Amino acid sequence: MQSLWCEEDAAALEDNSLAMRVYTSRLLGSEENLVMHGGGNTSVKAKVQDFFGNPLDVLYVKGSGWDLKTIEQKGFPALRLKETKMLADLEALSDTDMTRQLRALMLDPSAPSPSVEAILHAILPPKFIDHTHTDAIVTLSNNPRGEEILADLFPDCLILPYIMPGFILSRQVNDAIKVTDLSQCKGIILQNHGVFTFSDDAKEAYENMIELVTRAEDFISENAKPLATAKNGPIDLQDLARIRQAVCCARGKAQLAILENTADAVGYARLDSLKDIALRGPITPDHVIRTKRIPVIIGNKPEQGVPEVAEFVEEYKKYYERHSQPHQKILDQAPRYAVWRNSGSIAFGSSVSECTIISDIVRHTRWAVQTGESLGGWAALPELDIFEMEYWELEQAKLGKTPAIAKPHAGKIAVVTGAYSGIGRACCNSLFADGAVVVGIDINPAINDSLEKDGMLGICCDLTDDQAMTEAVEQVVAAYGGIDIAVCNAGIFNAGEYVEDLSPESWDQTLSINLTATQRFMSTTIPYLKFGVNPSLLLVGSRNFSAPGRGAAAYSVSKAGITQLARVAALELAAAGIRVNVVHPDAVFDTELWTEETLNKSAKRYNLSVAEYKTKNLLKKEIRSQDVGRLLSVMAGDVFAATTGAQIPIDGGSDRVI
């Protein structure tokens, strides 16, 4: 592992200990083989003035919720150092009381809660303390010969057996350093947990960490075998959707299912020893909060209902019964990731960011498990130790709090056609705001770059090209694991085309895009919607389906056609739990169809101002794209869970329709 220390960057920070602490923390956080997604913690001791101007020794320690990769000075709450150290001398201290006492010792009560390792940071005398969960050293400690290997590699370190983080770990270290000369140690290695390095000099503390990790990496490089790899093959996307559905049912809410089928993920999924090594436990107990103790292993061809998921749930209940105490409450029993035989691994979560975290941990786990096995054996901590971390008092306390209200489409997957602008774009934004991941499909190539948020994806596609459309839908399922919401919005409108003068080309084009492509899109998405969560198929119609206007024959016929198509689909798909509904907008003027010239021309025809023309309905209300988008999102959710075959106008009240 290479040191990232830059003398020029560091020189500007020498007079500011906290700024230097931020700098080296970010160096550590930028290396995922040291810390991942909020893991690890750092601190610095400093002198400040209290509110009354008196000198005060404080400990700046990483705050809860901050990631070392991006931490700022405000991510380090300041604690009174003397009193924080005194906590380590207590005979007993519950985690709840520890948390309360640490908050009481904060100089700024509005700052983030300090790390649960704050007491440990306080009792270590050096100024700068660095703590990581480095893969290399943890992998070596998860070995039948772990103690021997670590003792040989790190004669200049204090090596301690695993113990739960928090107060009892602080007590263990406090007792150990009373009989150890820390000035002769480059670090403290906590087996199955991680590494502490320290110094009064920030660079030395950081580079000690790099040196210790490099020793472990060099040992592994010289003695371990390469990871198993295999070429990925075709994925049965309906099987992926089936797996996702089973996990969503087990979790009781929608979840994304993000597949990783890289060469090493597939190689791992094809190991003959998979069921043995993958089910021994996580590489470090910290991961259990994200991944649970073990994954679910799913066969190459999942059966109806995916019985492996049901078996996982039952085994989890037994695991809980083996170790639980009367005061504890069982967590949900659904797996957080799967190893899909021959296909790779699948991360399950309510958002892309959650799945990314799980996927990263799984990738590191694959490496550590196979590396450890090739070094003579892979041995996770006993099941009870993992359970105690998963059901840690601080985690259980969260169950008693009022849960945050989840967004209505959290964990759901939506696909919208005609998504670049107008109603389609507004629908994408509304569904995304309500928690769904959203894929927008449009013929405009700019769609690829217009949906740039994490959890939004744009696909350029001509929906009249059956092959391209099928590939676009398959891309959605491959990216997120299924489809729950499909919105058929793409369409064109050519005004002023009277029946007598309507060209065959214009007629064919309008029906091809508005009606035939809608039918093809429905046919392609329905097999995946059948595996969806509260699946909803929505079609954007028009007032013209029942109240056509002159010069709009092709458009009016196409909208009447998709309305009838939706009615038939509602009859056919109800047994599969798929709701099919239609919205009928009218006079939505903030779309690309309506230019300023067109608006002025139309308003003049009615002898109205543009403002009057926009509100030419019974409620005198202007209908905007976002109004339609919000309606579509609501209709896709639980509010309309018992509604199918409906046609809902959003036109401010049209006397012609009424």
Average pLDDT value over all residues in the chain:
94
Backbone conformation region of residue 536, classed left if phi is above 0, alpha if psi is from -120 to 50, else beta: beta
What does the alpha-carbon distance between residue 170 and residue 173 come to, in Å, rounded to a whole number? 5
Q: What is the pLDDT confidence band of residue 594, given thresholds at 50, 70 and 90?
A: confident
Whole-number pLDDT of residue 595: 82
What does the alpha-carbon distance between residue 293 and residue 322 come to, in Å, rounded to a whole number? 14
Predicted structure pTM score: 0.93
Whole-number pLDDT of residue 399: 54
What does the alpha-carbon distance between residue 6 and residue 17 come to, in Å, rounded to a whole number? 16
pLDDT digits (tens, 9 = 90+) for 296-346: 999 999 999 999 999 999 999 999 999 999 989 999 999 999 999 999 999
Whole-number pLDDT of residue 36: 81
Whole-number pLDDT of residue 549: 85
| DSSP code string of 371-426 | HHHHTT---PPPHHHHHHHHT-HHHHHHHTSPPPPPPTTTT-EEEEES-SSHHHHH
256 within 8 A of 481, measured Cβ to Cβ: yes
Backbone conformation region of residue 620, classed left if phi is above 0, alpha if psi is from -120 to 50, else beta: left
What does the alpha-carbon distance between residue 443 and residue 456 come to, in Å, rounded to a whole number? 17
Averaged over 1-24, what is the pLDDT?
93
Whole-number pLDDT of residue 402: 53
558 within 8 A of 510, measured Cβ to Cβ: yes
Averaged over 151-167, what is the pLDDT?
95
Q: Which residues, including other chains, have CB under 8 Å from residue 112's CB and lie 6 or more apart? A: 63, 64, 65, 66, 75, 77
Share of the chain above pLDDT 70, in %: 98
Averaged over 234-248, what is the pLDDT?
97
- DSSP structural state of residue 533: S
Averaged over 75-81, what is the pLDDT?
97
Bigger pLDDT: 549 vs 205? 205
The SS3 call for residue 194 is strand
* pLDDT for residue 400 is more than 70: no
529 within 8 A of 537, measured Cβ to Cβ: yes
* pLDDT for residue 401 is more than 60: no
Whole-number pLDDT of residue 468: 97
What does the alpha-carbon distance between residue 473 and residue 634 come to, in Å, rounded to a whole number? 23
Relative to beta strand 536-540, strand 485-488 is parallel
Rank 383-397, 544-558, 559-573 by mean pLDDT and report only the highest: 559-573
Smallest CA-to-CA distance from 584 within 611, 569, 610, 566 is with 566
Q: What is the CA radius of gyration of the chain?
A: 30
